[in-house]
Amino acid sequence: MKKKAGIALGVLTAGALALTGCAPDGGSGNSGGTETEFGIAYNADGGHAAWADAVANSISSTLGITAIGEPYPDFAGLREEVTNRTIDTAFRTGWQADYPGLYNFLGPLYATNAGSNDGDYSNEEFDALLAEGAAETDLDAANALFQQAQEILLEDLPVIPLWYSNVVGGYSENVENVEFDWHSVAVFDQITKADGSVVTANGSEPQNPLIPTNTNETGGGKILDAIFAGLVKYDTDGSAVNDVAESITVDSPTQLTVKIRPGLTFSNGEEVTSDNFIKAWNYGALASNEQLSSYFFEDIEGFSYDEDSELTGLVEVDPHTFTITLNKPAADFAQRLGYSAYFPLPDVAFDDIAAFGENPIGNGPYKLAAEGAWQHDVQIDLAVNETYDGPRTAQNSGLQIVFYATQDAAYADLLANQLDVLDAIPDSAFETYEDELGDRSVNQPAAIFQSFTIPESLEHFEGEEGILRRQAISMSIDRQQITDVIFQGTRTPASDFTSPVIDGWSDSLAGAEYLEYNPERAAELWAEANEISAWE
């Protein structure tokens, strides 16, 4: 019977990997006739087998150990074991940014006891740098501290960074001015169409009614971003630009003052005021409402996970001004305010929140074209919101988001010019889409990071031995070859723990060499680990 060493899985991923291994040739490993396994678990319903096997093969051939993929039937089953800490093998992790900030890739995943810290990583120096960065009022100064924190991660490697996912899409011959933003979604409002018809785009059926604080998946998020406007909006490069806000002043690391532009309205004519934000955020934060995005309000004074509690940190000064008091410093809080959880709601929403979720009324560049415009499992039709006054004024006559069952079906419609914009080319077309679409193809980095996690709780992965083994494993992976061959260049090898599209990103951090393919150094590190404790 084989012994297993493993890895831990991370949040917002569609799968995991598994690696297994015996002692390297010439090493002091298998002295008792059994074979130590190193596994990378992945869910079989996520299409991860090819790259998981490629990663395993790269590790095997470099370190002389047997590395294999360990499939789980589905993501739910894998995730359950990760959450319950019952998984005894390695597993893939990843993160798609909620907002374009370095902290969003670091705090939720690696801070001690953070909600998405599935590997239970803990480092006091790392935590201190995160807290120091969060206390900065200057974002550049904060980012410098967050980069220092990343250099600790590069030494410890609680997860093994693999690659950044790219947005791989394209558009039809019928449209112009198509651009994809930092989180891989087309900037719909700037698309033009010569014949004046509505722009069509791919999408997926939202998992829940369209309530901003209860939507955390791309199908619903794409729609909410079109029909609502937040205090700020994100440019294609991820930089924050005022939308509903006239100004957002950071008075101190725990105090902000927000001024709303007067005269703005929801599509039903109701004026957008301070109260619309305060009531919406309190609804999202209230424990009994069980909103999926309630954690976005945990930094505001008065928040509680355990009982219903008012966000006392939100105070109306006048109809167009309110203040936000935080319970701890958060340097990037103002940067977060373009995320959908922070959208306002009109008063009518609270008359019947369930009914509102089926026919939401927003304040963004688009609105539902009519009552019942959301045809479940089919499409949603959006018209231009003539009352919107902001930086995202629509340059077309409307937007239709079609809920495709498969990416292949969507791609076929794109090739036939029956679909205008596609943000997910199917794997089956990776080899041909650039030739078929020409300069209408898109392949650019997005704010999606993929990795696998190795918790210290696993045998051979604690203390100095664990650090050496993680470094060896990382340097034994030929990321460039895998992204070229398996992904046809639709991934970019990772050089840090965040994403190239995020402000403050750097590809020259101290320790980044541990993410480079170096089989000779990997073997040396593995041998050093074996001197501490033999892999057996």
C-alpha neighbours within 13 Å on the C-beta side of residue 406: 7
Identify the burial level of 405 via C-beta atoms within 10 angstroms of its C-beta, where 0-12 means exposed, 13-18 middle and 19 or more buried. Answer: exposed
**373 and 454 share one domain:** no
**Residue type at 203?**
G
Q: To which residue do tokens 């639709």 refer? A: 490
Give 93's strand partners.
451
Average of per-residue pLDDT across 52-74: 90
Asked whether the beta carbons of 452 and 17 are under 8 A apart, the reply is yes
Asked whether the beta carbons of 296 and 332 are under 8 A apart, the reply is no
Identify the burial level of 367 via C-beta atoms within 10 angstroms of its C-beta, where 0-12 means exposed, 13-18 middle and 19 or more buried. Answer: buried
> In this model, does residue 108 exceed pLDDT 50?
yes
**496 and 456 share one domain:** yes
Domain presence at residue 213: yes
Non-local CB neighbours of 328 within 8 Å, separated by 6+ positions: 134, 254, 299
Number of structural domains (the chain) is: 2
> In this model, does residue 6 exceed pLDDT 50?
no
pLDDT at res. 16: 29
Domain presence at residue 114: no
Domain presence at residue 67: yes
Give 313's strand partners.
none
Q: Which of 422, 456, 472 is the last residue of a domain?
A: 422
**Between residues 341 and 35, the one the model is more confident about:** 341
Report the C-alpha gap between 450 and 465 in whole angstroms. 24
The dihedral built from the CA positions of residue 156, 158, 162 and 165, taken in this order, carries a sign that is negative
CA–chain centroid gap for 427, Å, is 20
**What's the whole-number average pLDDT of the chain?**
90
**310 and 362 share one domain:** yes
Non-local CB neighbours of 284 within 8 Å, separated by 6+ positions: 212, 213, 214, 291, 293, 294, 296, 297, 341
DSSP string, 306-366: SS----TTEEEEETTEEEEEBSS--TTHHHHTTSGGG----GGGGG-HHHHHHS---SSSE
Average of per-residue pLDDT across 485-499: 93
CA nearest neighbour of 167 among 155, 151, 178: 178
**493 and 399 share one domain:** no
**Residue type at 41?**
A
Tens digit of each residue's pLDDT (9 = 90 or more) over 254-270: 999 999 999 999 999 99
> In this model, does residue 45 exceed pLDDT 60?
yes
Tens digit of each residue's pLDDT (9 = 90 or more) over 304-352: 999 999 999 999 999 999 999 999 888 889 999 999 999 999 999 999 9
**486 and 390 share one domain:** no
Average of per-residue pLDDT across 347-370: 97
**202 and 320 share one domain:** yes
Average of per-residue pLDDT across 235-250: 94
Domain presence at residue 360: yes
Domain presence at residue 19: yes
pLDDT at res. 82: 85
pLDDT at res. 33: 43
| pTM (predicted TM-score) | 0.81
**379 and 283 share one domain:** yes
**286 and 199 share one domain:** yes
Residue 351 sits in a domain of what CATH number? Answer: 3.40.190.10
pLDDT at res. 34: 55
**415 and 475 share one domain:** no
**210 and 86 share one domain:** no
pLDDT at res. 370: 95
- Determine the structural domain holding residue 18 and report its residue range: 3-98+157-164+447-532
**% the chain with pLDDT above 70:** 93
**398 and 476 share one domain:** no
Domain presence at residue 476: yes
Tens digit of each residue's pLDDT (9 = 90 or more) over 424-478: 999 889 999 999 999 999 999 899 999 998 888 888 999 999 999 999 999 999 9
**486 and 413 share one domain:** no
**% the chain with pLDDT above 90:** 72
Domain presence at residue 499: yes
Domain presence at residue 310: yes
